[in-house]
Amino acid sequence: MTDERAMIAIERIDQALGRLEAAQAAPAGGGGSEGAEELARLRETHRGLRSRIEGAIAQIDLLLAEEES
């Protein structure tokens, strides 16, 4: 059961990263300083989410390692 939940969590994380990467690659709508501000906010959000995801993956790795022991 734990493996199934871990796999579901990893899949959701992977999907979220895909959406973030697609949004980052897409041209910013608008332009000017408003577009630059939005891009800066998106980048900061991306950094925060990436950090949280890395932490979640590390926790999943620990759980899986404990299961194997």
pLDDT band for 44, please (50, 70, 90 cuts).
very high
Distance from the Cα of residue 29 to its chain's centroid: 22
Question: At residue 21, what are phi and psi to the nearest 5 degrees?
Answer: -65, -40
* Rg for the chain, CA atoms, rounded: 16
Between 26 and 36, the more confident residue is: 36
Domain regions of the chain by residue span:
2-68
**Structure tokens that stand for 26 in this block:** 């897409």
Taking residues 10-31, what's their average pLDDT? 77
Mean pLDDT of the chain: 83
Q: Is the pLDDT of residue 30 over 70?
A: no
The Cα–Cα gap between 49 and 69 comes to 30
